[in-house]
Amino acid sequence: MSDTPDESAPPVMRGVGVIETALETMPLSPGVYRMLDAKGEALYVGKARALKKRVVSYTQIARLPERLRRMVSETVSMEIVTTHTEAEALLLEANLIKRLKPRYNIVLRDDKSYPWLVLTEDHDYPQIAKHRGARVRKGSYYGPFASAWAVNQTVTAMQRVFLLRSCTDTVFSTRNRPCLLHQIRRCSAPCVERISREDYAGLVDQAKTFLSGKGGAVQAALATEMEAAAETLEFERAAAVRDRIRALTTVQGTDIINPASLTDADVIAVWQIAGQSCVQVFFFRGGRNNGNRSFFPAHSRGEEAPEVLAAFVAQFYDDKPPPPLVLLNHALPEQDLITEALTIKANSFGANVFRGGKRVEIAIPQRGEKHAVVAHAELNAREALERKLAESAGQAKLLDGVAELFGLAGPPARIEVYDNSHIMGTNAYGVMIVAGAEGFIKSAYRKFSIRGAITPGDDFAMMREVLERRFGRALKEEKEGPGTPSWPDLVLIDGGAGQLSAVRGVLEELGVDDVQLVGIAKGPDRDAGREWFHMEGRPPFQLPPRDPTLYFLQRLRDEAHRFAITTHRAGRSKALVTSELDEIGGIGPARKRALLNHFGSARGVKQAGLQDLESAPGVSREIARRVYAHFHPGAHVAGGG
């Protein structure tokens, strides 16, 4: 890391001095460099085949665009990491950009995990299910899918065609009669031995064959099975196989959305309007369309579509295996290098990524079915970007209205809304929701489980604790730096003058005096449209019933209320399940699960008689007496065994 140069020099020349000092010891090998600001945060992450030759270009200020001159002027230190090859540098660069989100890079905003479909392999009767996260369970995984809806649709289709169970192993082990899925012909009911282990294994093999892209072979096998059943006059079995063939035919239907020529491929297209970009991705696996998703990478207005697409592709596959074929609507700069990096990434996920060990291929089709699929993705990207721009324009107008209404210096970039929920002081939670120029920012939502003793109905004390924790933590983070906490431009409180005064007192004690506070009190009879707004230095006021700004503020308040209620309900349900049974000595997770599965709920366990508890599977007589005595402390429980 370099030393800071002369502080009397202009900022841009101080930045040049930092870079020149770093160049003195910088190697010519491949690697990744990071430019850091005064707080130690990454301004820019770049890769190079020869680090010294690439970084020296930042010292030639006259040749740099204004954006990069600004970046150099903010640079106070540099860090480098060397790699063996430029392809490895590209992979590391993509990983660091996704993790650090530097201000001057093209950044893919994608913090969601993708769902997969799994066929388990640790049970005599494998389960088909949706899966997210680490692959800790033994099984065959297929995906990724663009959304939970897409994988759920596939699970349903697989049930119809292959009659595989989707229930958990716990439910499977406690069934004594077929469930509804068997009755509607979506499960072969292995739980009650309506199918042999060998026949069920045959269904699993067919499912794996289909998911591997060999649906034609499965359909031919089913047709043979149906004819054989008809010849032996097993008409009911023949009809059941016929229904499976029909379901399979529906699943395999082909068109521009589900092209026959694509087996394992991703189709990626970018569209730009007014300096903003949308990237649309379609996932095809095993000849099926696994859904699509829109992305809106953050970048400067001057970035061209090919550069945006190249940065997106490198970052997109940072945490997922690339398919053998990637179809794009633009050729990429350094396309051969990106192809090499994706091949390395694919191999790192295991040998089963490819059939035959082929390299990843990046193609820009010019005609035929593949070109039509890319054009379709491009159309989706354009329409998604147009919708986003229209929504942003409307949102910007509403934020202008909020700024004018509450006397803000400009449109608020971050609005925080607080609410709480409890029942007579129990299971008390406070929540914070956040909104900005892009609408609701759900990744910034926060829940606060109230820790202090709350007098029933004391909403002031709850709100005080929430605000102390939220802004106290922000102040602590600001002192500890680097990293700047997210400060709101406007704080909305669900309440009137009393709540507003309590919140103002909390912030004054903390030394926070630059946040605008507004209380929203419900109107007469809690009538929406007649709310009163409370602010310091102004008498309470109302807005016209059909004012668009009023609708916007109501939507913010209602979202906070919804989040508070759902948070409270989830906490209350968890408490009902855990607290009453966890208080009983000798009741571990296995026995608790057995009791809940048998009686349906903690309340069912509480209401059960001693004989019922003793007859529950997995519960000994001693444990049954202990559970009964806990819920009936005055009852006499006979001793014994």
Winning range, highest mean pLDDT, from 129-143, 301-315, 502-516, 592-606:
301-315
Superfamily of domain 415-573 in CATH is UvrC, RNAse H endonuclease domain (3.30.420.340)
Q: At residue 528, what is the residue type?
A: A
What pLDDT sits at residue 248?
A: 63
Q: What is the mean pLDDT of residues 571-596?
A: 66
The pLDDT-based confidence of 47 (bands split at 50, 70, 90) is: very high
CB under 8 A, 24+ apart: contacts of 279-284: 279/308, 279/309, 279/312, 279/381, 280/377, 280/378, 280/380, 280/381, 280/384, 281/146, 281/316, 281/377, 282/146, 282/373, 282/376, 282/377, 283/143, 283/144, 283/145, 283/146, 283/150, 284/259, 284/323
Q: Are strands 265-273 and 325-328 parallel, antiparallel or unpaired?
A: parallel
pLDDT digits (tens, 9 = 90+) for 390-417: 878 888 889 999 999 999 989 999 999 9
565 and 433 in contact (C-beta within 8 Å)?
A: no
Judged by phi (left if over 0) then psi (alpha if -120 to 50, else beta), residue 163 lies in left
The pLDDT-based confidence of 255 (bands split at 50, 70, 90) is: very low
433 and 420 in contact (C-beta within 8 Å)?
A: no
Provide DSSP, 150-194.
Answer: HHHHHHHHHHHHH--B-S-HHHHHH-SS--HHHHTTS---GGGTS
Report the candidate in 498, 492, 489, 444 with the shortest Cα–Cα distance to residue 467: 492
Q: Are strands 516-521 and 265-273 parallel, antiparallel or unpaired?
A: unpaired
Which of the following CATH numbers is that of domain 583-631: 3.90.320.10, 3.40.50.80, 3.20.20.80, 1.10.150.20?
Answer: 1.10.150.20
pLDDT > 70? residue 355: no
Residue 351: CB atoms within 10 A of its CB come to: 8
Identical topology for domains 265-386 and 415-573: yes
Residues for the chain: how many in total? 641
Bridge partners of 415, per DSSP, are 435, 490
pLDDT digits (tens, 9 = 90+) for 64-115: 988 899 999 999 999 999 999 999 999 999 999 988 899 999 998 776 678 8
**Per-residue tokens: 130:** 């949706």
Sign of CA pseudo-dihedral 14, 16, 17, 22: positive
Provide DSSP, 419-488.
Answer: EEEEETTEEEEEEEEEEETTEE-GGG-EEEE--S---TT-HHHHHHHHHHHHHHHHHHHHHH-SS-----
**Per-residue tokens: 472:** 């106290």
pTM above 0.85, yes or no: no
Q: Please return the burial class of 226, using the count of CB atoms within 10 Å of its CB with bins 0-12, 13-18 and 19+.
A: buried
**Per-residue tokens: 297:** 């990478």
pLDDT > 70? residue 343: yes
Report the candidate in 242, 215, 218 with the shortest Cα–Cα distance to residue 229: 242
**In CATH, 265-386 is 1.10.3470:** no
CATH of domain 11-100: 3.40.1440.10
Q: What is the mean pLDDT of residues 494-515?
A: 84
With a CB cutoff of 8 Å and minimum separation 6, the contacts of 71 are 15, 35, 43, 44, 103, 104
What pLDDT sits at residue 251?
A: 54
pLDDT > 90? residue 169: no
pLDDT > 70? residue 455: no
What pLDDT sits at residue 36?
A: 94
Boundaries of every domain in the chain: 11-100, 265-386, 415-573, 583-631
Name the average pLDDT for the chain.
Answer: 82
What pLDDT sits at residue 571?
A: 62
With a CB cutoff of 8 Å and minimum separation 6, the contacts of 187 are 159, 163, 164, 165, 166, 178, 179, 181
Give the C-alpha separation, 103 to 107, whole Å: 8
pLDDT digits (tens, 9 = 90+) for 417-428: 998 775 554 567
Share of the chain above pLDDT 70, in %: 83
What pLDDT sits at residue 580?
A: 65
Report the candidate in 219, 292, 295 with the shortest Cα–Cα distance to residue 257: 292
